[in-house]
Structure 1
C-alpha cells in the first residue's frame, strides 16, 4: 500500500467529502452545539424558565436519537442523495418557521420535535456510508473529517451568531441557522451526491455485500462495540457537562477553567482527526483501547484535591481527544466489521446509544454531586466505565469480516 495509492482516494473523492462535510456541519450537530446560545435570550425575552427552555432541547435530543436507526435504514435502502436533501430542506424551513411563529411553549416544543425528525437525516449516520464507500485506505481520516464539520463551522460562526442574537434577538439566531442549512448545507449535499444513485446501481452487482442487520445483531463483535459506546459516552457525557465546575471545585480559577474548556473543544477536533489517521495505520482495537485508557488516566488526575494548571490541561487534552474520537471509532469499527450494506442502520443504533448515554452521563454526574457534595464518586465511576470501554473495544478481532451475499434485512 503506497502513499500515492492512499492519497489517490483524496485526489479523486475530495469534492464529495467536502460537500458531505459541509452538509453535516450545517445540520443536526450544529443545532445541538448551539442550543445553549438561546437559553438566556429566550429567558429574557419571553420569560420562560431555564428548565422549560432546556426541556425543548431535551425533546430535540431524544427525538433525534430515536429517529437515528430508522433514518439509517432509509439511507441504506434509498441512498443519501434522496434522504439528506429532504432532511436539510425540512430542518432549514423549520428553523425559519421558529423565527417567525408566536413565542408559545407548546409551539416551541412542537417545532423542536419536528426539527428532530428532519435533523436525523442530516447527520453522519446518513453521510457515513457515502464517505466510507469512497475511502478504504484512508477511511478513518475521511470519517473524522466528515464528523468534524460542525466544530470547524462553529469556530467562525459562534461570534456572528452571538452578535446577531444580542443585537436582533433570539429569532435572528434561528434565522441564521435555517439560512445556513438552506443556502449552504442543501446545495452542498446535492453537489456531493450528484450521480451517486446511478453509480451505486451500476456497481451494485459487483460489490460484495456486508452483514445484514440480523447477522450483525447475532455477532458478539457488534455488542462489544455497543458496550464500548455505552460505557465511554456515559463517562464522557458527564465530563462534557460538568468539567468546568469540576475544575473550579479543584481550585482552578473560573477564567482559567473557561480557557481550558476552549482547549477541550479544540482537542475534540484534533483528537478526531488524529485518531482517524491512527485507525488507518494501526490495529483499530489497540488504538481504541489506548484512547480509553488515556481518558481514564486523565480522570484519575482529577482525584487530586489541588491539581496544578498544567495537569488540568493534560486532563483536558486526554478527555477532549477521547470525546473527539468517540464518533469516529464507532463509524470505523462498524464499517470494518460489518461492511457498508446496512452501515447507516447499524451506525444509527450506535448513535442513538451515544445520544442517550451522553445525557445519562450528565445526569449521573449531577446526581452524584448533589448527593455527596463532591465529584469524587462520579470520577471513580467514570474511570471504571472508560476502562470497561477500552477492554470491550480491545477485545475486538483485528481482521475484517468477509462479506457474504445479502439475503434480506
Structure 2
C-alpha cells in the first residue's frame, strides 16, 4: 500500500482494537479447568456460557455493524469497551451457570460485536482505495492473531501467578484500553468520503440490504462456509487446552499451541488478504477449508506429542483467520461498501452459530462420552462441505447492488 500517514494511523488504531478484543477472548479456554473446579461445574456448563457468548456476538453483530455503517464506529466502540471490562469483572462473581451465562455469555458477546471486524472494517473500506482494501483488511485481521500470540501466554501467566480471579480483573483493565481508541476511528470515519445510504430508518435499511443479499446464491454459500469456520476455530480454541491435558500434556504445551496459532496466523491472514487482491477469493476460501480438514484429520490420527501439537498449531494457525479478509472481500465485490458492516455482521452470525455449536458440542459430547473424538471428526467432515460450498461462489457485483451505485 502507498505511504500515507493518516491511513497508517488508521490501520494502527484499527489493528490495536482488534488485537485487544480478539486477543483477550482467545485465552478463555485456560479458565475452563480452574473455574469448573472452583465452582463444581461440568465442562458443559462452562462451554455453554462461551457458546452463548459466540451466539450473542453473532446475533448482535449485524446491528452493531449497521450502526457503525450509518453513524460511525465511535459510540459503538465506547459501548463495547465498557461492556467488555464489565463482563470480565463480573465473571469473578459468577458462581452459577446462569450468572456465567450473563457475564461471559451475554455481556462479553455484546462487547465483542462492538469491538471486532465488522465495526472496524466499516471504516477501512471507506478510507482505503479499492485496489488495497483486501490487503488492509488482511493486515487488520492479522492484528487479531498478533493479539492472540501476545495475550495467550499473558493470560496463562496471570492464572498461574495470581489465580484465575485476579487474572480476570487484570484483563478487565486491559479491555478498558479500548475506550480511548474510539475517538481516532470515529475521526477517520468522518474524514472518509461520504457514501449514499438508505434514507429510511436503520431497521428498514437493514431489511432491504439483507433481502437484496439473500437473493444471491453466493451470499448464502458464504454463510454456509463461515458456519464451518466458526465451528472449527472456536472448538479448537476453547477445548484444545483441556484435550491436551486429558492426554497428559502440560499446560505449557497448550499455551505454546495457542500462541503458535496466533503467531502463524499473522502471516497467514496477511497472506490471504494479499492473495485475495490478485486471485479469486472463493477458490482461496475453498482451499483453506480443504487444508483444515486434512490437518485436523492428521492431528487426530497421528501419535500425540509436543512436536505434533506444535506442528498442528502452526499449520492451523496459518489458516486460522485467513477466511476473514477473503469473506469480507467477496462481500464488497458482491454488494459494494455501503452496507459492509451490516452484511459482514449477517455472514458473521452464521459463523457464530457454528461457534456456538462447536464449543457447546465439545463440552456436551465430552461429558457424555468422555472423549472429544466425535467432534474432531465432525470438524473434518464440515470442512469438506465448506470446501464444496465455496467453489460455486462468484464475485460479480449483484444486479440490485449495481442499481444502487
**TM score, norm. by length of structure 1:** 0.78
SS at match of 2:288: helix
Q: Is 1:37–1:162's contact at 8 Å kept on the other side of the alignment? A: yes
| Residue-pair matches, total | 390
Q: Is 1:264–1:316's contact at 8 Å kept on the other side of the alignment? A: yes
SS at match of 1:18: helix
Q: 1:327 is matched with which residue? A: 324
Q: 2:200 is matched with which residue? A: none
Residue 88 of structure 1, aligned match among 68, 81, 103: 81
Pairing of 1:221-260 with structure 2 (within 5 A): 221-240=218-237, 254=249, 258=254, 259-260=256-257
Pairing of 1:7-406 with structure 2 (within 5 A): 7-8=2-3, 11-27=5-21, 29-42=22-35, 47-51=39-43, 52-96=45-89, 104-105=95-96, 108-112=100-104, 113-135=106-128, 136-182=130-176, 184-194=177-187, 196-197=189-190, 199-201=192-194, 204=196, 212-240=209-237, 254=249, 258=254, 259-260=256-257, 262-302=259-299, 304=301, 306=303, 315-364=312-361, 381-401=378-398, 403-406=401-404
SS at match of 1:7: coil
Q: 1:277 to 1:41 in 2, by over 3 A?
A: same
Q: 2:201 is matched with which residue? A: none
- Distance in 2 (CA, whole Å) between partners of 1:383 and 1:214 is 32
SS at match of 1:194: helix
- Distance in 1 (CA, whole Å) between partners of 2:241 and 2:364 is 16
Q: 2:202 is matched with which residue? A: none
- Distance in 2 (CA, whole Å) between partners of 1:286 and 1:68 is 26
Compute the RMSD of aligned alpha carbons: 3.8
Q: 1:218 to 1:278 in 2, by over 3 A?
A: same
Which entry has the higher C-alpha Rg, 1 or 2?
A: 1
Q: Which runs of 5+ in 2 are unaligned?
A: 198-204
Q: Is 1:15–1:192's contact at 8 Å kept on the other side of the alignment? A: no
**1:203-229 CA distances to partner (integer Å, 9 max, x unpaired)?**
549xxx999322111111101111221
SS at match of 1:269: helix
Q: Is 1:90–1:115's contact at 8 Å kept on the other side of the alignment? A: yes
Q: Is 2:49–2:100's contact at 8 Å kept on the other side of the alignment? A: yes
Q: 1:181 to 1:261 in 2, by over 3 A?
A: closer
Q: Is 1:289–1:389's contact at 8 Å kept on the other side of the alignment? A: yes
- Distance in 2 (CA, whole Å) between partners of 1:154 and 1:380 is 25
- Distance in 2 (CA, whole Å) between partners of 1:339 and 1:352 is 20
**TM score, norm. by length of structure 2:** 0.79
- Distance in 2 (CA, whole Å) between partners of 1:380 and 1:103 is 33
- Distance in 1 (CA, whole Å) between partners of 2:323 and 2:215 is 23
Q: 1:368 to 1:244 in 2, by over 3 A?
A: same
**1:137-195 CA distances to partner (integer Å, 9 max, x unpaired)?**
2222221222233432344444544454455544433332232233x322222123215
The Cα shift of 1:400 comes to: 4.4
Q: Is 1:83–1:121's contact at 8 Å kept on the other side of the alignment? A: yes
The Cα shift of 1:128 comes to: 1.4
